[in-house]
Amino acid sequence: MPASTSFFRFQCWKSPESVNTGHQVVTDGGGRGIAVNGAPLSIGASIVLYRTPIAAVRPLVDALLQQGVAHVYLVDNSPQSFGAFQGWAPDERVSLIGRQGNIGYGRANNLAIRKSTAAHKYHLVCNPDISLQAGAIRALYALMESRPEVGLCMPRVVGPDGRVQHLCKRSPVPLDYLSRLVPPRSWSQRRRARLEMLDRSYDLPMEVECLSGCFMFFRSSVLGALNGFDERFFLYFEDFDLAQRSRRIAVNLYYPHAQVIHVHAREHRRSWRVRLHFIMSAIRYFNKWGWFGHS
């Protein structure tokens, strides 16, 4: 654990079940209301869309609101001609941010993050291809309330087939990706096992260097101190970079007692343009964090 985590007040571990989550409304240090157990929680959520019909993301928006998220920010990076929100009158708890074109994943999230972190105690960065399982948001909320040293957490993430997606990562190095291109296959398997922390149990909570951007549950004070995503990353590695920076001032925690479902499409295998973004972002990441480990 980085020494700088002493910036936050440590407390003895309390299980989330022991946290008082009655119907009362309390106030955090910044005067922001936190309602619990059936009422909206002090959580904002951002979802970045690209050529995603609103019908495809409405089930997720509805689920987030039903599970206690106070406000959802939908940021549309689609071309203006796409009209993702056309004909939709959203709930007052949903803000639509669009018509800026494709400005990149991190920069688009930052448009919502700046609004959300000023208004809510927690902020969730969420992909549109996520489905929530019952109680996931409240379980993460209770965890964060009981662990003030945790700045970022991620639940267990499974695919539609129920298999665990190994999205806890050690900080990558170029060999982790180059090994997938050259034989022997056993080398690639060893590198992947190291990267995806397969030597650790995904059934137990663990501290992690890098967490996936598909579902990042942040303490707003931490996310605000980091100024959100580094907007120099247009696509890919912006989540690893943000997790690495978060880890310098707080704890990154994988928490398997909450669960979500993720489709997990690998777009960079289909498009040369997206593949180029992957390569450029990888170079930027390794320049920043080290080609052979941490710099």
Residue 119: the pLDDT is 97
Q: What is the mean pLDDT of residues 118-129?
A: 97
Looking at this protein, which amino acid is placed at residue 235?
L
Model confidence at 267: pLDDT above 90? no
* Average pLDDT value for residue range 235-243: 96
Q: For residue 32, name the pLDDT band (cuts at 50, 70, 90).
A: very low
Is the domain spanning 7-171+201-272 CATH 3.20.20.10? The answer is: no
- Check residue 185 and give its pLDDT: 83
- pLDDT at 254 exceeding the cut of 60: yes
> What is the structure's pLDDT at 217?
98
> Is residue 84 scored above 60 in pLDDT?
yes
Is it the case that residue 15 has pLDDT exceeding 70? no
pTM here?
Answer: 0.85
**pLDDT confidence of residue 270:** 65
Highest mean pLDDT of the ranges 33-42, 70-79, 82-91, 286-295: 70-79
Average pLDDT over residues 218-235: 97
Burial of 237 (0-12, 13-18, 19+ CB in 10 A): buried
**Lowest-confidence pick of 14-23, 77-86, 133-142:** 14-23
Are 48 and 105 in contact by the 8 Å Cβ rule? The answer is: yes
Quickly count: other Cβ atoms within 10 Å of residue 109's Cβ.
27
How do the domains of the chain map onto residue ranges?
A: 7-171+201-272
Residues 172-217 pLDDT 10s = 999 888 888 888 888 889 999 999 999 999 999 999 999 999 999 9
Provide the pairing of β-strand 215-219 with 150-158.
antiparallel
Given a cut of 90, whether residue 59 has pLDDT beyond it is yes
Q: What angle do CA 241, 220, 287 make, to 5 degrees?
A: 10
